């Protein structure tokens, strides 16, 4: 009510879903989707009912990460029915427009007028947020698009988020944007669950020598400066990348590996 009086949109929960968290990053390519999917799978492995909503309308990654392609069915009510793999439900723009077409779609829309473009994107987003039949879920993980744009703002303002996990690599250029992201969520009253450092250390498979490719403790330092929780560290490892590309994420394929343990440690902290 107070929000309505102040002219702010009222936040909605999602039917049947107990908790909703978002995974966000200031920049693209820092491992946000990889973290989102491995966290979802880790939490599912702790016997929770988990779904993943891919909110990246133009660059959906979840279909590939979960090796899912089919077009979703719709319920009698007209809601989208999520697909599922490895015990996790998923919904993505990628299911609706096909793997390569988001780019085509964007090309098409760029030639449209900007108002029309905004309306179409927001309509797609509204459908993903409010017209998916998730069933009963303990947790929905929202994979945000990178950055601090309209989509992130819309989701933060329309959905009751329990919190957001921010991921960054340790180099300055990523951290500057991660700070911007954190500030945006704070402004719209979304609790920040903490920051995850990704791609911090590369361990040579031959000699075990450690290389801090993007710097060593950048995220830890930033989290301290901002008074945010540090949720852990994921190494830079070819296995994480390869398994993601195959659509068989490390947490399900190699659950006892060090990499999987790193994701599981983060998952335990946010539960």
Q: Applying CB under 6 A, does 236 fall inside the site for ligand ADP?
A: yes
Site string for ligand ADP, 199-218 (x = CB under 6 A): x-------------------
For the record, the structure tokens of 86 come out as 């490895």
The least CB distance from residue 261 to ligand ADP, in Å, is 13
Q: In what order do the strands lie in the sheet with 230-234?
A: 83-85, 88-92, 50-54, 137-143, 17-24, 163-168, 192-198, 230-234
Please give the helix or strand (H or E) that residue 62 lies within, else none: helix 62-65
Closer CB to ligand ADP, residue 31 or residue 72? Answer: 31
Count residues binding ligand ADP (CB under 6 A). 18
The least CB distance from residue 129 to ligand ADP, in Å, is 19
Q: Applying CB under 6 A, does 29 fall inside the site for ligand ADP?
A: yes
The least CB distance from residue 27 to ligand ADP, in Å, is 7
CA dist., res. 43 & res. 20, Å (int): 13
Q: Applying CB under 6 A, does 31 fall inside the site for ligand ADP?
A: yes
Q: Applying CB under 6 A, does 90 fall inside the site for ligand ADP?
A: no
CA dist., res. 201 & res. 260, Å (int): 15
The answer to whether 26 and 181 have CB atoms below 8 angstroms apart is yes
Q: Is 259 helix (H, G, I), strand (E, B) or coil?
A: helix
Among 17, 40, 55, 61, binds ligand ADP (CB under 6 A): 61
Binding site for ligand ADP (CB under 6 A): 25, 28-34, 61, 146, 198-199, 234, 236-237, 240-241, 244
């Amino acid at each position: 009510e107070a929000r309505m009086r102040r002219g702010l949109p009222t936040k909605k929960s999602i039917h049947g879903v107990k908790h909703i968290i978002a995974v966000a990053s200031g920049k693209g390519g820092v491992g946000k989707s990889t973290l989102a999917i491995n966290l979802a799978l880790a939490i599912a492995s702790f016997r929770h009912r988990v779904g993943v909503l891919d909110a990246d309308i133009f660059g959906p990654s979840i279909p590939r990460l979960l090796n899912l392609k089919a077009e979703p069915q719709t319920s009698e009510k007209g809601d989208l029915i999520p697909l599922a793999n490895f015990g996790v439900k998923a919904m993505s723009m990628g299911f609706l427009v096909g793997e390569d077409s988001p780019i085509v779609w964007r090309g098409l829309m760029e030639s449209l007028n900007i108002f029309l473009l905004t309306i179409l994107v927001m309509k797609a987003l509204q459908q993903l947020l409010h017209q998916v039949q998730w069933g009963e879920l303990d947790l929905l993980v929202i994979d945000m698009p990178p950055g601090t744009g309209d989509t992130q703002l819309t989701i933060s303002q329309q959905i009751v988020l329990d919190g957001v996990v921010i991921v960054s690599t340790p180099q300055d250029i990523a951290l500057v944007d991660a700070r911007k992201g954190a500030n945006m969520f704070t402004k719209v009253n979304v609790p920040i669950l903490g920051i995850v450092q990704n791609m911090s250390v590369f361990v040579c498979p031959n000699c075990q020598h450690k290389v801090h490719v993007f710097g060593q403790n950048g995220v830890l330092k930033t989290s301290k400066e901002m008074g945010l929780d540090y949720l852990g560290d994921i190494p830079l490892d070819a296995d994480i990348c390869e398994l993601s590309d195959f659509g068989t994420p490390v947490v399900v394929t190699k659950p006892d590996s060090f990499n999987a343990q790193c994701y599981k440690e983060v998952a335990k902290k946010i539960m």
